[in-house]
Structure 1
Amino acid sequence: MWRYAMKQKKLLFFNFISVFGFISVELGLPTLLALMIDKGITQNDTNYVKNMGLLMLGVVVFGVALNILLGYFTSRITTNMIENIRDDLFETVQEFSHNEYEQIGVSSLITRVTNDAYQIMLFMQNILRIGFTAPMMFIVSLYMVVRTSPSLGWYVLGSLPFLLGGVVAIAIYSEPISKMQQKNLDRINGILRENLSGLRVIRAFVNERFEEKRFEEVNDAYATSSKKLFRLMSVAQPAFFFLFNIVMVLIIWSGSVQISTGDLRVGDLIAFIEYIFHALFSFMLFATVFMMYPRAAVSAGRIQDVFDAEPLIKDNPNGITTTATKGELVFDHVTFAYPGPSQTPVIRDISFTASPGETVAFIGSTGSGKSTLIQLIPRFYDVSQGHVLIDGSDVREYQLAALRQKIGYIPQKAVLFTGTIADNLRYGKEDATKEQMLRALDIAQATDFVLSLPNGLDTVVSEGGSNFSGGQKQRLAIARAIIRQPEIFIFDDSFSALDYATDARLRERLRAETTESTTLIVAQRVGTIMDADKIIVLNEGDVVGIGTHKELLKNCAIYYDIAASQLSEEELLK
């Protein structure tokens, strides 16, 4: 927290000046009041009272101005801090591999960027206002108390151990509650995210009540931990005021005795009471800030965990950026196991070559490793053994941006972003012209439905593309990759939502478009890959067949079984 605060030294300096001036005003007023009483009111000096009254009014106005400035500088510092923290968090998260997302959790990351950062902002606002003001005011007030009446000062000093003990006890007790509260908030976000994204499935299975009960359990857990914190804080403040009032009663009683004996003047007692008020009230305010610290520390620790997370996929800043060849792909005895305790390989000893202009397809049963295999190319994961080579160099030797610039990737689940259709297409090529966008849409068989929309390319895409069908989203995702004109196309089961006629037309146009690019297709439908130059059949992570459609029908039993389940006898004999 202080690391980010110290980036704004100029604002911190003005904040400190405002604090110092405000304290001077607050503690100067009791002294002026004492002088007004002892030298003006008791002496019946009307002019002195009038002049001191005007002086006090000026000091009050000056104090209000300083307090406004203090609020302004505090708000500027904390707002800038949280802006920087969130920017850095987002930048850090962008460098995460799939492994870090799985370890921390997407819902937890959202909570850390939003709620945890907000908790830090609240704490720092209190620190910069009260945390700076209260200790200085307490120390100066304590000095003035002892200076005005050392005998009465013992009442204040005697109460401090009780106050300090209460603050420490509350801080220790509140920390584990704060941790549990933030974890429960993560779970709330997770369930809410699942519920909103799976709303249609929930309704289709009439499971609204089940989801309500599941959310209610987590929400109750969050409410329980929050209530514990609120109860703790609600008990703390009255307890402090109770002790505060006892001290005040003892001081007024003792002070009145000293006034009756002539050992203390009325003005001094009033000033003393003001100093006592400032001292104890400052301590109580600082105690409140200190009690907020455990919650802020939990939030800061959770954010620091994100910053400290070491990405498994690291960029190579001095890596390759350009190559002589374009799109030559080689898998050299590749084995891969997902990071974790099991370390069981999901693909084993895979070798093949794909050249520019060639279409290589992957097929196999669910869970055979098809999608995992192609995710090794853009380095979503790194191989456990062997090498993935592009244009003669291991993918780990490239700069990540340069490597991924070579690739046009269309995932299984077509992802569209909030904005317009044109914005989504420009995601593939930032400076794409309207003509380039229309050409890409034409190749992807998306022209008809896009131009039939009232706003055409300027049609707004809802969150996640929810206002388009699965097939429309897939075609827009394909167009986004085409507009990039990459050296390697990766279609990860990207035709699954298309009807056979659209699928056939799209693949025919793609063949003409990708004559100089390497095309990789993961598919479940044999009809999608029959014309591929090379088909690789996977089964439980192993390659069990490589060849053309006709070759595999003759020499690969697994491929034949897949084809026979989808094609007619006449199509099998072609």
Structure 2
Amino acid sequence: MQIILKYIKRYKLLLFLNVISVFGFVLTELGIPTIIANMIDVGILNNDKIYILNEGFKMALISIIGVSGTILLGYCCSKISTNITHDIRKDMYKKIQNFSHEEYNHFKTSSLITRINNDAFQVQLFVNVLLRIALMTPAMFISSLILTYKSSVPLFFVILSTIPFIIIGVIIVAKITGPISEKQQSGLDDMNRISKESLTGVRVIRAFNKQENEKDKFVEINEKFTDNSKKLFKIMQFTQPIFFMLLNFAVCRIFYFGALLISKDMLEVGKMVSFLDYLFHAMMSMMFFCTIFMMYPRAKVSADRIQAIFKSELSLRNDPKSDIVDCDLNTITFKNVTYEKNNKKILNNINFTAKTGQTIAIVGSTGAGKSTLSKLIPRLFDCSSGEILYNGINIKDFDIEKWRRKIGFIPQKAFLFKGTIRSNVCFGKEDASDEEIYKALSLSQSTEFVLSKENGIDSIIEENATNLSGGQKQRISIARAIIRKPDIYIFDDAFSALDFKTDAALRSSLKPITKNSIMFIVAQRISTIMDADKILVLNHGNLEHIGTHDYLLENCELYRNIAESQVKEEAISYEEN
């Protein structure tokens, strides 16, 4: 629970007010029974009206203090617990933003969503109860026991004999509920995963008529989650009446022994009344304390899951040692670059150099490592061994944010955010003017379909860009990269959804703006990369050949096979000997 203590320390003033309010509340709850006892044993017994009025005035004053303390206690608890949850979510989201693909694969998206939302909420509930009870319960319990001891020693031991049974019950409940809470939170992860897959893949599900299969998968996970929840709630609800039974049993014994003591003139009626009040507060304090222990296992599971996020070491370390220095002729060099995942080599010993003004194409069969290679440049993850050098300096030595500002990355799967066309294009440059936006749209061949919309660049893009076609999404993504005027362009199969005419027009429009940049193109179409200065041919993670289109047709069988499978022999200007 270190995570809770860490964040509570931030609100020292509110904690101080919380302590004051607790003592005000305890003063009221324990002070009034004492006053009532005095009113009965002194005022009423002696028919002293002035004494009764004075005690009544004290009672009213203490009640005002108690009400004020209760209000202040509620305010402080709510304020601290909600602020802690806000801070946890903010810091967790900030940490997640620095995750690489390796961390995302380790924690899984569905689990991260659960940790940010539900786990943080469980911590909030626990902190709220903790702040209300953690200080009040010991103060109330100890004070009540002292006052009961002063009131009647024999009756005090009646209470004392009940406490061990409650403590043992609490320990047993905590041991049982811990593993169930962990299963419950894991089940919530699975529910989030199934729901996300069903919603995002709804078209595929309907196309293959698999609605019932998805329904059965969800029902199975939901039933497991429900069973664990039922077990947890049954245990909680089962323990509560048992504790109340023990409380009532103690009260019955108090009445019995108290009546005997009063009949023998060993106990006054007023003290008996106040004793019952003290007993009630002592036992209720113990009940509240039990509530904390019953909530603790689930809160601990959630806190540990949150702590795991904060303790996770980032595979991408931002440790800037050098400033980025640009030259007239910038170079990117892959030097013996190897990338491993799960002890399997995805890329093996890659070596090549790219210079300003050059277009570097990357081709190969599915799973050859093309996209992986392109993602190493903006440091979406780091190579396992070897170096990627920019002007002779390892890119790991640059500040990662400054390095990424030099790059325009268009991913394989075009992703647009819910908002407008303007907001999505300006994602690449926040302060872009309308003129810059229209120019970027024109270069990406997007002007026609954007202007055909009623609100132009202010037209709404729905969630997951469902109101745009695949080609339109790709062109908006390309415009987003163009508008920032980067020194390095990376097109990770970014032309796959475009028709041949649009593809050719787009590549033609890109030439003037990329002549002072380095451009990497991952592509499946040979027609897209025929004009590239260098073409890297990957085969199962190995760089099989590197050269121009014509050179590879003659010297690389894999490239030739890819080309021949796509284009007629006449179009690739190749003659067999």
TM-score normalised by structure 2 residue count: 0.97
Q: 1:171-320 residue pairs with structure 2 within 5 A? A: 171-320=174-323
Residue segments in structure 1 that go unaligned for 5+ positions in a row: none
* Cα distance in structure 2, aligned partners of 1:354 and 1:464: 35
Structure 2 residue 485 is the aligned partner of structure 1 residue 485: yes
Partner-residue secondary structure (3-state), 1:521: strand
* Cα distance in structure 1, aligned partners of 2:166 and 2:354: 74
Does the CA-based 8 Å contact 2:445-2:505 persist in structure 1?
yes
> Which residue is 1:417 aligned to?
417
Partner-residue secondary structure (3-state), 1:245: helix
Does the CA-based 8 Å contact 2:27-2:62 persist in structure 1?
no
> Which residue is 2:443 aligned to?
443
* Cα distance in structure 2, aligned partners of 1:558 and 1:572: 15
Q: Relative to 1, partners in 2 of residues 1:416 and 1:326: Cα closer, same or farther, differing over 3 Å?
A: farther
User: 2:26 is matched with which residue: 23, 28, 36?
Assistant: 23
* Cα distance in structure 2, aligned partners of 1:81 and 1:20: 23
User: 1:107 is matched with which residue: 110, 113, 133?
Assistant: 110
> Which residue is 2:133 aligned to?
130
Q: Relative to 1, partners in 2 of residues 1:319 and 1:132: Cα closer, same or farther, differing over 3 Å?
A: farther
Does the CA-based 8 Å contact 1:491-1:522 persist in structure 2?
yes
Partner-residue secondary structure (3-state), 1:573: coil
> Which residue is 1:503 aligned to?
503
Higher mean C-alpha deviation, range 413-422 or range 264-273: 413-422
Structure 2 residue 71 is the aligned partner of structure 1 residue 68: yes
Higher mean C-alpha deviation, range 471-480 or range 382-391: 382-391
Between Structure 1 and Structure 2, how many residues are aligned?
A: 571
Compute the displacement of 1:325 (Å): 5.0
Compute the displacement of 1:120 (Å): 0.5
Q: Tell me the amino acid that sits aligned with residue 463 of structure 2.
A: E
Higher mean C-alpha deviation, range 518-527 or range 545-554: 545-554
Compute the displacement of 1:12 (Å): 0.3
Q: Tell me the amino acid that sits aligned with residue 435 of structure 1.
A: E
Q: Tell me the amino acid that sits aligned with residue 273 of structure 1.
A: L
Compute the displacement of 1:201 (Å): 0.5
Q: 1:149-164 residue pairs with structure 2 within 5 A? A: 149-164=152-167
Compute the displacement of 1:461 (Å): 2.1
Does the CA-based 8 Å contact 2:102-2:315 persist in structure 1?
yes
The root-mean-square deviation of aligned C-alpha atoms, in Å, is 1.3
> Which residue is 2:144 aligned to?
141
> Which residue is 1:93 aligned to?
96
* Cα distance in structure 1, aligned partners of 2:337 and 2:130: 55
Q: Tell me the amino acid that sits aligned with residue 490 of structure 1.
A: I
Compute the displacement of 1:326 (Å): 6.1
* Cα distance in structure 1, aligned partners of 2:460 and 2:491: 25
* Cα distance in structure 2, aligned partners of 1:292 and 1:9: 24
* Cα distance in structure 2, aligned partners of 1:461 and 1:136: 58
* Cα distance in structure 2, aligned partners of 1:415 and 1:161: 60
* Cα distance in structure 2, aligned partners of 1:384 and 1:149: 75
Q: Tell me the amino acid that sits aligned with residue 243 of structure 1.
A: L
Q: Tell me the amino acid that sits aligned with residue 110 of structure 2.
A: S
Partner-residue secondary structure (3-state), 1:569: coil
Q: Deviations over 1:228-262 (max 9, x none)?
A: 11011011110000000010011011111111111
Q: Tell me the amino acid that sits aligned with residue 405 of structure 2.
A: Q
> Which residue is 1:385 aligned to?
385
> Which residue is 2:467 aligned to?
467
Structure 2 residue 378 is the aligned partner of structure 1 residue 375: no
Q: Relative to 1, partners in 2 of residues 1:516 and 1:6: Cα closer, same or farther, differing over 3 Å?
A: same
Residue segments in structure 2 that go unaligned for 5+ positions in a row: none
Q: Deviations over 1:540-562 (max 9, x none)?
A: 11222222222222222211111
Does the CA-based 8 Å contact 1:326-1:487 persist in structure 2?
no
> Which residue is 1:560 aligned to?
560
Higher mean C-alpha deviation, range 188-197 or range 386-395: 386-395
Higher mean C-alpha deviation, range 134-143 or range 547-556: 547-556
Higher mean C-alpha deviation, range 373-382 or range 173-182: 373-382
Identity of aligned residues (%): 47
Partner-residue secondary structure (3-state), 1:85: helix
* Cα distance in structure 2, aligned partners of 1:516 and 1:14: 63
Q: Tell me the amino acid that sits aligned with residue 278 of structure 2.
A: Y
Partner-residue secondary structure (3-state), 1:544: strand
